[in-house]
Amino acid sequence: MTPGLEFLEVLPSEEWAGRVAADLVACLRANPRLRLCLPTGDTPAPVYMSLVDALARGEASLGQATILLLDEYVGLPADDPARCDARLRRELIDRVDPPPMAFHPVRVDESAPEEAAADLDAIAADGLDLTLLGLGANGHVGMNEPGSTADSPTRVIPLTEPTREVATERYGARRAPVAGITLGLDRILASRQVWLLVTGERKAEVLARALLGPEDPGCPASFLRRHPRLRVIADEPAATALDSTR
């Protein structure tokens, strides 16, 4: 670990997904009734692939676990490929047997967005054992866009242009969403553990800003350093700016 960054773990790229999945398996074996908040996106996708393989080998089970979706786009139809709930089902939920005891998507199709956000917050208020996060190129976590602070609640939030572009250009949304629903940083920081997953050289500068810069609403991930059980699990390319910044 890097001095002053005891929460940081840097792994070889070829080992990264398997090691994170193995740690998730260990958590499930220690607590089969784990309450997990999970993200979607390109970063966690290989972790879920490795986790599915491990569960198929019988190394652990999600059968008693509860999974809460971290965030969701507003305004995308249920069959849109970029939908967070659809992606997590494709990559994890529908690929494991037994399935999770409970899966809580953001019920944006069944309620007004503000009501769906309130429902998500109420489920999170029952307690989360582990929250996994990716890191946005603009420093967001979940859809807590720049301007968010450590006490930002679960809410409907306008999306920045870069986040909208990712939805269409990388995730295949048929139209650019203008808003999202996200678990607030207040609930994320109340989780018993938080793991920030970061891969790729394109995330190197924002990771250095999040870990070494001041707490800054312009980089909401910087507030994660307040958490007493934060783990930042990066691959080697994502960590390249840390030493030079120090």
Pick the catalytic residue: 71, 85, 119, 235?
71
CB 11 within 8 A of CB 65: no
**Beta partners for 66?**
35, 102
Catalytic residue, from 72, 80, 104, 140: name it.
Answer: 140
Measured between alpha carbons, how far is 169 from 44 in angstroms, rounded to an integer? Answer: 18
Q: Is 243 exposed, middle or buried (0-12, 13-18, 19+ CB in 10 A)?
A: exposed
Q: Which of 80, 145, 186, 235 is catalytic?
A: 145
- Annotation says 71 is catalytic: yes
Q: How many residues does the chain have?
A: 246
Q: How far apart are CA 154 and CA 190, in angstroms?
A: 12
Establish whether 145 is a catalytic residue. Answer: yes
Catalytic residue among 23, 121, 138, 165: 138
- 205: annotated active-site residue: no
For residue 70, which of 96, 99, 105 has the smallest C-alpha distance? 105
* Catalytic residue check, 104: no
Three-state SS for 60-81 is CCCCCCEEEECEEEECCCCCCC
d(CA 171, CA 154): 23
Q: Are 133 and 142 in contact (CB under 8 A)?
A: yes
Q: Looking at the annotation, which residues are catalytic?
A: 71, 138, 140, 145
